[in-house]
Structure 1
Amino acid sequence: MTTTTRPAQAADLPAIARLFDLYRQFYEQVADAQRAADFIRQRLERNESVILVAEDASGALVGFCQLYPSFCSVEARPIGVLYDLFVLHEARGQGAGRQLLLAAEARATADGLARLDLTTARTNTTAQRLYESLGWARDTVFLAYSRRLPAH
């Protein structure tokens, strides 16, 4: 299968929302098509993230990645957080994930970012092999922590 990558467009919203809902399910969230569509619509309308898509030869979207802007205080430079990367199960192993990662790197470089950061589940060894094959380095210095906040 031949895939190409490009920045998302407003017309892609339904397809990206479907992929995003499947991505959330991969991370053990309950399916919620409306929540997925609302979330992606807000990111696009507010220009709060960069969404790149992978499409097959027929033009169907088979994957996406989403970059959020952030900053590194130590480097005093902007960075990107590659929070979401997802490829449909039937399209995996055909290069779409690799293409999305390379497109994200090219976009981040063009935008003048110092680096890209990502996290993945410890059990997602397939993704880890892909990241490492492209030169991503596992952090062995810092520990990541998070704290859930009360809903309002």
Structure 2
Amino acid sequence: MKIQQVTHDQLEQCADLFDQYRQFYQQPGDLNSARAFISERLVKRDSIIYIALDENNNGMGFTQLFPSFSSVAMKQVYILNDLYVTEKARKQGVAKALMMTAQAFAQKNKAYAIKLATAKDNVQAKALYDQLGYKMIDSFDYYTIKI
């Protein structure tokens, strides 16, 4: 397995993984829109995407970080919005390797933190986050509004 930052050379592999990820969250499959979304992120450079590839360059998983800031800390933070590993590649350390790569990137860029959210019933992901030292923050209530 190799992990690398996504460029347009890996657009097709990444778009396919991104489409699978969205379907995992009960969204309809739409490879063309997934490709357009990932391509736009690459062109605008407004996210950092890492992909895990097997020895045949098949996509095994990906993670996507979005830069943000902490006003209180006055430092950059990264929002880890997406982490996905194909069903076939699970239980092989892919998610952990992607998370460690994201963390190394954030440390290299002197970020204050990586923040993420996951479904309450995503037991496997929570176990990984706990293992990697992430802490659940229960001192805030988060709100959202669809626009």
- TM norm structure 2: 0.97
Q: Secondary structure at the match of 2:139?
A: coil
Look up the match of 2:140.
142
Deviations 1:30-76 (A, max 9, x none): 11111101100000011111001111122212110000000001111
Counterpart contact for 1:4–1:99, Cα < 8 Å: no
Look up the match of 1:4.
2
CA distance in 1, matches of 2:134, 2:2: 22
What is the total number of aligned residue pairs between the two structures? 147
Look up the match of 1:93.
91
- TM norm structure 1: 0.94
Deviations 1:55-107 (A, max 9, x none): 11222121100000000011111100000110101100100000000000000
Q: Secondary structure at the match of 2:19?
A: helix
- 4+ runs of 1 displaced by more than 2 Å? none
Q: Which runs of 5+ in 1 are unaligned?
A: none
CA distance in 1, matches of 2:46, 2:112: 19
Q: Secondary structure at the match of 1:57?
A: coil
CA distance in 2, matches of 1:40, 1:55: 17
CA distance in 2, matches of 1:120, 1:28: 15
Q: Please provide the CA RMSD for this pair.
A: 0.8
Q: Secondary structure at the match of 1:51?
A: strand
Q: Secondary structure at the match of 2:29?
A: coil
CA distance in 2, matches of 1:148, 1:92: 32
Identity of aligned residues (%): 36
CA distance in 1, matches of 2:130, 2:2: 22
